[in-house]
Amino acid sequence: MADVLVALSGGVDSSVAAALLIEQGHQVTAVTLKLWGGETDSGCCSVSDVEDARRVAQQLGIDHHVFNFGEDFDRHVVAPYVEAYAAGQTPNPCVECNRHIKFDKLFRRADALGFDLIATGHHAQITELDDGTRRIARGADVGKDQSYVLHMLDQSQLARLLLPVGAFDKGRVRELASELGLRTADKADSQDVCFIERSPGRGDGARKAFLGERIPLKPARIVDSEGTELGTTDSIEMVTIGQRKGLDLGGGTDRRYVTEIDHENATVVVGDLADTMTTRTEVPDLTWSSEPVSDGLTAQSAAHAKRMPVTVVGTTLVWAEPHPKVAAGQSVVLYLGDDVVGGGIAGQELASVDAARLPRPSADLT
């Protein structure tokens, strides 16, 4: 058995993960990561979560520590999140938190403290091939699967990682927590970006307030594919590829979707549903978990999006059939069956509209 450091978030999944490892005979120590917020914050990694984690550790009879990685979180997650929106991209902060904090900073701290393994409550599994190569694989609960946000893990990390709840569906996880009398058994899952939950309001309103405090939000024109002006938005940062609602374009029965975002020229292009589709997606930083795979691939372009067949040509994904355009900054993950074999961050889609025909913003919009 091993000395295992469990990332105990204060939620039900990590609570049950810790309990299962104890049951398996491991020497378990719990750690909660303090990443964001003050004494009155709420949501993931908040003061209330730290208290829940402490109490669960107490129930399980294991040591509990709190690591303050706030500066690293701000540097590697929050600041790039804001910078991405300022550059006209749509970032995925959960992926970057896993990349830089939970599976880099925490791993290095665990090494320094002499732990053999790290464990988390992610709904994903680890498979091992005959040659010893390991891969992240989808969790048993497809609706809760988190393999997408763990696609960046390398062989050295996978060799030292345990994902105890990946083989269970969420209902069974809650049953186990109830059987153990854990205080987190009925705790709701965190749904929003953890540091956005603390801004006034919820959803897009909270995101807009958060970004507005850190960068100047840029007004933009909304035009159709012929360059005809249809309206304006007070913040191009709040617009994303494929968006239909919230554009306030007035009357008309035709549904309009965002098809292009020209951040430099403060212009949003809208069109019909067909205009939101593409057959190619650029992934400039595409990497493989081990060796490249050529056949039988599917790709997933959002945390719970449907996987679609693709062929990889260099760093270009060629979709087997038209696929919704992927916003620059979003992760695209490659699967072989249920195993993750590669992934990267989508770049800017090739424009299907001649930019020369689009109106330049006037002075009052800049």
Q: Is the pLDDT of residue 82 over 80?
A: yes
78, 112: one domain: yes
Of the candidate ranges 152-161, 301-310, 354-363, the one whose mean pLDDT is the lowest: 354-363
Residue 146 lies in a domain: no
Q: Is the pLDDT of residue 123 over 90?
A: yes
Residue 191 lies in a domain: no
Q: Is the pLDDT of residue 328 over 60?
A: yes
Q: Share the mean pLDDT of the chain.
A: 89
- Residue-wise pLDDT for 233-248, tens only, equals 999 999 999 998 888 7
Residue 8 lies in a domain: yes
Average pLDDT over residues 54-71: 96
241, 98: one domain: no
310, 251: one domain: no
CATH number for position 98: 3.40.50.620
234, 97: one domain: no
pLDDT tier at 364, thresholds 50, 70, 90: very low
Residue 318 lies in a domain: yes
170, 28: one domain: yes
Task: Output the pLDDT for position 115.
Answer: 98
**Tokens 């303050």 sit at which residue?**
68
Task: Output the pLDDT for position 45.
Answer: 61
51, 85: one domain: yes
Q: Is the pLDDT of residue 125 over 60?
A: yes
Of the candidate ranges 60-69, 289-298, 334-343, the one whose mean pLDDT is the lowest: 289-298
CATH number for position 252: 2.30.30.280
- Residues contacting 152, CB < 8 A, separation 6+: 95, 98, 99, 103, 287, 343
266, 295: one domain: no
281, 267: one domain: no
Q: Is the pLDDT of residue 251 over 70?
A: no
d(CA 177, CA 184): 7
- Residues contacting 61, CB < 8 A, separation 6+: none
Pairing of strands 161-162, 134-138: unpaired
Q: Is the pLDDT of residue 184 over 90?
A: yes
Residues belonging to the active site = 97, 194
Of the candidate ranges 164-168, 188-192, 291-295, 318-322, the one whose mean pLDDT is the lowest: 188-192
27, 58: one domain: yes
62, 108: one domain: yes
- Residue-wise pLDDT for 252-283, tens only, equals 657 899 999 999 999 999 999 999 999 999 99
CA 63 remoteness from chain centre: 30
Alpha-helical runs (H) found in the chain: 12-23, 47-60, 70-73, 79-86, 93-97, 106-113, 155-158, 170-180, 203-212
Residue 102 lies in a domain: yes
Pairing of strands 27-34, 64-68: parallel
User: Could you give the percent of the chain with pLDDT greater than 90?
Assistant: 79
CATH number for position 282: 2.40.30.10
**Domain containing 104: what range?**
3-121+164-180
Residue 137 lies in a domain: no
Task: Output the pLDDT for position 353.
Answer: 33
- The gap between the terminal CA atoms of the chain, to the nearest Å, is 62
Q: What is the pTM of this model?
A: 0.89
237, 295: one domain: no
Domain stop point among 136, 155, 180: 180
Residue 143 lies in a domain: no
Number of domains in the chain: 3
357, 291: one domain: no
Residue 192 lies in a domain: no
Token pair listed for 92: 């995925």
Task: Output the pLDDT for position 358.
Answer: 33
